[in-house]
Chain A
Amino acid sequence: MQRFIAKRALQSLLAIWVMSLIVFTLVRVTGNPLDVMLPLEAGPEDYARVSKHWGLDQPVYVQYAIFLGKAVQGDFGNSWKWHGHSAMGLVWQRLPATLQLAGFALLVSVVIALPVGVLSAVMKGTVWDTVAKVIALLGQSLPAFWLGIVLMWIFAVNLGWFPTSGRGGIQYMILPAITLGWFQVAAIMRLVRSSMLEVLDSEFVKLSRIKGLAEWKVVWKHCLRNAAIAPLTFFAIIAGVLMTGSVVTESVFSWPGTGLLVVDAVRARDFQVVQAVVIVFAGIFILTNLLVDILYAYLDPRIRYQ
């Protein structure tokens, strides 16, 4: 188990390094940040001066070496847009809001999707199952920005039940969390349903019925744990979807998280901040994957004892 974790940790570091290379290159293809930073009337000497100040006159590989050298110490440079703030400082400042929203969205979606998925498998072919299928279909075909705007229009603007934007008590979280979690509800539900159906058909389920075990115990003890193994892989993906989803959702609801931050940073060509956000997102994504692998091993003894 220790070796397994050590190996996975090493792979994770490698993945983050590759990620840094990609994001470093990508932000530089989007255009010259000085075009945004400097006023329109700025002349070539202004360009040269600011370029030198930020180290943008160096060859790209030197820039990358400097970036990497500082990044391993957690220093992603200073923001160009938000003067006086370090890029990492901004990310840390905004991250709790994003994690709060994503965590809440995940919680809500699991709490809804798991029982619905299990029940629609158990009651396969009934009205209940059909209703669940329709919800799943809607969930996977509605784009998040559209859903966000519609929810806001109905429940915040017209009915006035929830605030339209910003961060505050739980009432501020409901609409963004539904927007962010909706897709997950549908996906988790479908996965749970299909793996549940498979498990319900297995011989060990028949044996537990032959023993005289009550049906609810057959479902929730014998099936669920087996059925949870397959969808678990998906949780690693969900971590990614939630983070990319936060960009859209936070923009719609002006939720002051890293998603909103990165949108503003991209508009301002604030490389430093974009790089910091992407690396932190990648880090979170990889960490979630690692946790999922460990959870896997916990749920499935066949992996634990390899």
Chain B
Amino acid sequence: MSRRIGDVILEVDDLHTYCFTSYGVVKAVDGVSFSLRQGETLGIVGESGSGKTMTALSLLRLAPRPTARIVKGSIRLGGEELLTKSEREMRAIRGRRISMILQDPQTSLNPVFTIGNQLIEAIKIHHPDGHRSLVRRAIDGLKQVRVAAPERRVADYPHQISGGMKQRVVGAIAISCEPRVLIADEPTTSLDVTIQAQYLRLLREIQQATNLGLIFITHDFGIVAKMCDRVMVMYAGRAVETGSVRDIFNRPSHPYTQALLNSVPSMDDDIARLYSIAGQPPTLWDLPEGCRFAPRCPHADDRCRHEYPRAFSVGEGHTADCWRLEKEWTPRPFSASTG
């Protein structure tokens, strides 16, 4: 079976998710737009706190309540608007049509229930069935993620299995109802390199078998290069650059993307070079007026500090929010930028 990139399955437009806290409004996601096709892998990269997880949770309408609220935007899954759905309708969609693997596999399983119990629960929500056939499906699910001796594993508790195995079980739960979109939120940060590689291979295989759209959140450009078709770079709640993996690597157009790529240790060098980006990301409840990257940008000028840059198209399906591109490139016709 080979992967085939098909129709657009998910469209996110001008998504705003704010956290209403006692110290102010945290603009965790502040106008993000992207789309995802079947069989396609979209990478979301960005520093810690840039809003990657919040974007992902918003897609499931699970941004932490009551603090976080989606205040604006549109999320269309298979053409249907999710933001107007009732909570009950959303429950039928979660797990079944869009699913997610959380950041930390070690704590994603409930310690007081067996693996079988938690996997069966996931299947039963969308496919109510007799206990025996549910158990059989659970065992099949574990086989699909290459868990050895699945018949015995179903009776195990999470603390009895290894971290890599837990990760697989969480994966099995996420795909148990054959979702069309799967979000993997830094699924490998807590695993060692070998297990990490195995897990990535497994995700690819699952994607090939089911042709699902995969959103892959990570810090690691190395993994992006291996896993993704397209990349969205996030900075302070905004998508500052979006494009194909090749374009992003060959022609990074936003100074932030360039800085991020520079900070990746190069495999070819004897000595791994590591430029870290000077400065701190802005606090999200007190954002600078103009370009959010201006305080750290080597090219920032007066205009950057006062006016948020529009999105400029720098190639086929390749856009970036930066004033520097204005001279060379025309603005994208349907600019979604706000202040």
Contact = CB atoms under 8 A, between A and B. Distances in A.
B107 A202 contact: yes
Contact of B107 (A203, A210, A214): A203
A209 B109 contact: no
A212 B125 contact: yes
11 contacts: A125-B66, A203-B107, A206-B62, A207-B173, A210-B100, A211-B173, A213-B125, A222-B110, A300-B112, A301-B111, A301-B112
A305 B102 contact: no
A280 B177 CA distance: 57
Interface string A92-110: 0000000000000000000
Dominant secondary structure at the A interface: helix
B111 A203 contact: no
Interface in A201-231: 202-204, 206-215, 222, 225-226, 229
Contacts of B110: 204, 208, 222, 226
A302 interface: yes
Nearest to A304: B157
B108 A204 contact: yes
Interface string B92-128: 1111100110111001111111000000011001100
A302 B157 CA distance: 8
Nearest to A217: B121
Given A212-B93, A301-B157, A305-B157, A207 B102 contact: yes
B170 interface: yes
Contacts of A225: 112
Contacts of B112: 225-226, 229, 299-301
B91 interface: yes
Interface residues of B, number: 34
A213 B96 CA distance: 11
A212 B100 contact: no
B94 A209 contact: yes
Nearest to B106: A203
A15 B103 CA distance: 47
Nearest to B87: A215
Interface of A: 125, 202-204, 206-215, 222, 225-226, 229, 299-302, 305
Contacts of B170: 207
Interface string B239-280: 000000000000000000000000000000000000000000
B52 to A, nearest CB: 15
Given A210-B99, A300-B112, 9 more contacts: A125-B66, A203-B104, A203-B107, A204-B107, A206-B102, A209-B62, A212-B92, A212-B94, A212-B177
Contact of B125 (A202, A204, A211, A222): A211
Contact of B108 (A125, A207, A226): A207
Interface string B54-65: 000100101000
B215 to A, nearest CB: 13
Contacts of B103: 203
B91 A301 contact: no
Given A206-B62, A207-B102, A207-B170, A214 B91 contact: yes
Nearest to B90: A212
A214 to B, nearest CB: 6
B160 interface: yes
B174 interface: yes
A214 B122 CA distance: 11
B159 interface: yes
